[in-house]
Structure 1
């Protein structure tokens, strides 16, 4: 029901925009379509990879590796995987939901998502180029530590 309301509101706003200025609205829609076309291959690629992984790995295995019973070992594993993975945010949250539905623990997913968003192992060379080695390592280290704090807080709040 919420989706219907949101899509309806967007449709109404789009019609108002089109009424006020047709050329700007058309240009905005063209830009939005271009952005969608640029994002779609990455999004579909990650969804396919996740789908294949979820079909190969049963929920019990996910539960063992990053489920509630995996404890802090699972939190550390999730945080390390998140830190070295380069996935855009619009893919990370649906991925986290799929993992939760398939047996992953809340603390583990919190660590995964927070380190995924804040720690950039893959982007360290670029970051060093612009910010310097010391600041880059400090920022990534603090962000990695913070992912454990986030996991602990989420674990306490949800459970």
Structure 2
């Protein structure tokens, strides 16, 4: 059996790291042979959140059976347990002692009393929880002005660009219509149901199915109007790449959809 233990150093004599995601080292131990490998945690200095994801990926990638640590966030615990990895928290002994206690199915909890392993159980770090709530509140407050601007932009677009105008623009070459449909769908935003209603009306006006399909797909997947909010929340690089890929995919989906429809209706 292989177990992963968060550690303050690369040796078995060091103490177990307090936090799974930001411990300096993650030591993988074979409980049968006691052979071990100390892996430097690349997210050890990450204080901005998301460090647990790196540690979770390492644990899953190394195919360990259990993770032993001082504290593991609820989200990281969920991902680990969903992948069949046992999670044991509240440990403050040395790595070597922890391995022996685990092999005997006895570990010390945070209060110092001997107890049995409880897979998937985490202890709530109240200070970390309070900090997370404060951080989330500040982030939401920072996004409010951007969200208000997004709502205003959506209202302006839906008011001044009618379905009749769209039907005039999207009439002609299927290739150009597909591209223009994706462009317009990228600009518009709102509930996907609205795109179905507009798409149905456009078909009645004689707009090609290529354009309507691209329009509806881009409406859902691409969001130029919401781009400032997405950049603020998820980062500029991610937002730009995701929207660019989604735009290209909306073109491909439109072509494939119409092609398959024509094939099966022949």
| Fold shared per TM-score above 0.5 | yes
The superposition leaves residues 11-48 of structure 1 with CA deviations (integer Å, 9 ceiling, x where unpaired) of xxxxxxxxxxxxxxxxxxxxxxxxxxxxxxx9xxx5x8
Q: Name structure 1 gaps, 5 residues minimum.
A: 1-41
Cα distance in 2, alignment partners of residues 99 and 118 from structure 1? 19
Runs of 4+ in 1 over 6 A off after TM superposition: none
Aligned length: 108
Cα distance in 1, alignment partners of residues 213 and 163 from structure 2? 20
Query: Which residue of 80, 83, 87 corresponds with 2:190?
Result: 87
Corresponding residue number in structure 2 for 1:139: 242
Q: Name structure 2 gaps, 5 residues minimum.
A: 1-153
Cα distance in 2, alignment partners of residues 53 and 113 from structure 1? 13
The two structures have a TM-score, normalised by structure 2, of: 0.37
Cα distance in 2, alignment partners of residues 53 and 90 from structure 1? 15
| Between structures 1 and 2, the one with greater strand share | 2
Cα distance in 2, alignment partners of residues 85 and 53 from structure 1? 12
Aligned pair 1:105/2:208, yes or no? yes
Larger Rg over CA atoms: 2
| Contact residue 163 and residue 201 of structure 2 kept, 8 A | no
| Between structures 1 and 2, the one with greater helix share | 1
- Over the aligned positions, Cα root-mean-square deviation in angstroms equals 2.6
Cα distance in 2, alignment partners of residues 53 and 153 from structure 1? 25
Aligned pair 1:119/2:212, yes or no? no
Which protein, 1 or 2, shows the higher relative CO under an 8 Å CA cutoff with sep ≥ 6?
A: 1
Cα distance in 2, alignment partners of residues 80 and 156 from structure 1? 21
Q: CA deviation at 1:65?
A: 3.7
